[in-house]
Structure 1
Amino acid sequence: MARQDGIIKLKGQLGGISFYKSSLNGHLARQKGGVDAKRMQTDPAFARTRENGREFGRAGTNAKLLRTAFRSQLLSTRDGRMSNRLSSLFNAVIKTDELSLRGERTVVNGDITLLRGFDFNETGKLTHTFFAPYTADVDSAAGTVTIDAPAFIPTDMIAYPDGATHFRLVVSAAEVDFAENAYNVQSLETEDMLLSAIAVPPVNLVLTMSEDNTDPLFVVLGIEFTQLVNGQMYTLNNGAYNALSLVAVEPGA
């Protein structure tokens, strides 16, 4: 794959070269070729390729399900490469499955805790934005997820973008059944709080989930920035600086 340079950008095929535009990488060119599809599907020489393909497809499907579960929160973030980054991480999780045969490995049988710490917005990481201490506690038996943070001074503990006047913390938890392509999600958020040198009250957000849940459970914590103008609160810069991270991951039974 090569990047097109020059004033005139090409699209289509010419002399065995395909010219196209990628939303992430701009105008590109690559040589047409590859193995015949039927041979790829039947030739024993490509058995490993077929196995890898099945697992990579499974990783993409599972990653999409998690993104869908947290769609409401993801609408407030912006990262064009997030989907690819998450799918790659899911693929890494699948490869840790030591129970299944190659090609049949799954996320559930792998080390799903590798997803902990994943930032949905690479340009607005939670650890680079929110410095106040907090705890994320999961009680699977009782079916509760609790985010606690003591009182803190926003201007000391938050790296906020220019123009922001307020912020809010958001938390969401999802029980995900990858086998059935289903999920149960619950969310809460604080009120908009002033970005100032005056301490805000302690934060206590409690989500009620399923008791004795056996599916993997994912908890995201995020911070969203807003701007108050003439009594109206506006989202700041389409969420470019908002952070959202997986702060807890429970494998399930």
Structure 2
Amino acid sequence: MARQKGLIKLEGAIGDLSFYKSGGEYYARTKGGVDADRIKNDPAFVRTRENGSEFGRAGKASKLLRNALRQLMVHAADNRVSNRLTTQMLKVIQADETNARGERTVSDGNPALLKGFEFNAGAQLAGTIYVPFATAVDRVTGALEVSLPALVPTTDLAMVQDATHLRFGALGATVDFEGESFSTKMAVSDFVEIDSVEHEAQSLEVQIDAASPSPIFLAFSIEFFQMVNGEAYPLKSGALNAMAIVAVDLP
């Protein structure tokens, strides 16, 4: 790596030289890297191929799960959720004790590791609601539920500037990672005014396919709004909303 000098600074490639900027400085280096065909066939790169195969599988599974939860996630996810979920999905795959390295799968891994995954790192569910809530999953009937206790918004929830109301959401999904398909149902609460009055306990119930042979995921979210003349306006495009996977049930 060599530092560029002179008045004219270059970025890009010329022949076997690459020019780039890093940390405010301009550098030049020769093109390197291993030939793609060698990586595909050379026994020395067998681990690279195995890792690449499983990473690709994790990315595919991550996208499928994001699509399954999209109805809720679109209002409560940061711009790095794709990378973060893929990283966690790779851990799910690496927990597979059945298949050989490079052939491990989500289904034979441990999807339960996805429980607690936060979709908005800047506004986590764990730091938004301070009272314990319960979840229930009945695989036989397909009934899913998030049960909230009586709560006082100003003390039991994180305060969001300019928010006057909030809404709870729950989404249940069965996800077939091998068949690349999913089925979902969602429920949302009425708008809850953010005040110092105790609001009665409530439950969000969703009904998914009964006796599903696939992993079941239950996600829970809190969205904040400003109510003006009876119209609810999302705050900061949902940047302060929280969502997490709160239950995972495996067949």
Q: Tell me the TM-score normalised to structure 1 length.
A: 0.89
* Local SS of the residue matching 1:66: helix
Three-state SS of the structure 1 residue aligned to 2:89 is helix
Paired letter, 1:141: V
The residue aligned with 1:118 is 117
- Conserved in 2, the CA contact under 8 Å of 1:169 and 1:222? yes
Alignment correspondent of 2:18: 17
Tell me the amino acid that sits aligned with residue 159 of structure 1.
Answer: A
* CA shift digits 1:179-238 (9 cap, x unpaired): 111000110000111000011221111111111111011110010000012332100111
Seq. identity, %: 39
- Please give the alpha-carbon distance, in whole angstroms, between the structure 2 residues aligned to 1:242 and 1:28: 40
After TM superposition, the structure 1 = structure 2 runs for residues 51-130 of structure 1, keeping only pairs within 5 Å, are: 51-130=50-129
Q: Report the TM-score when normalising by structure 2.
A: 0.90
Cα deviation for residue 10 of structure 1 reads: 6.8
List per-residue Cα deviations over 1:50-87 (Å, max 9, x = no partner): 01101000000000000011112121124121110100
Give the structure 2 partner of residue 182 of structure 1.
181
Residues 74-83 or 88-97, more deviating: 74-83
In structure 1, give the amino acid aligned to 2:174: E
- Which structure 1 residue ranges, 5 or more long, are not aligned? 1-7, 22-26
Q: Residue 212 in 1 paired to residue 214 in 2?
A: no
The Cα of 1:16 is off from its aligned counterpart by 3.0
Tell me how far apart the structure 2 counterparts of residues 98 and 37 of structure 1 sit (CA, whole Å). 30
Instruction: Write the letter of the residue equivalent to 2:185.
Output: Q
Greater Cα radius of gyration, structure 1 or 2 = 2
Which residue number corresponds to residue 226 of structure 1? 225
Q: Report the RMSD for the aligned CA atoms in angstroms.
A: 2.2
**Letter matched to residue 203 of structure 2:** N
Superposition misfits of 4+ residues, deviation over 2 angstroms = 8-21, 27-33
Asked whether the 8 Å contact 1:153–1:198 carries over to 2, the reply is yes
Alignment check: 8 A CA contact 2:77 2:243 kept: no
Paired residues, what number?
A: 240
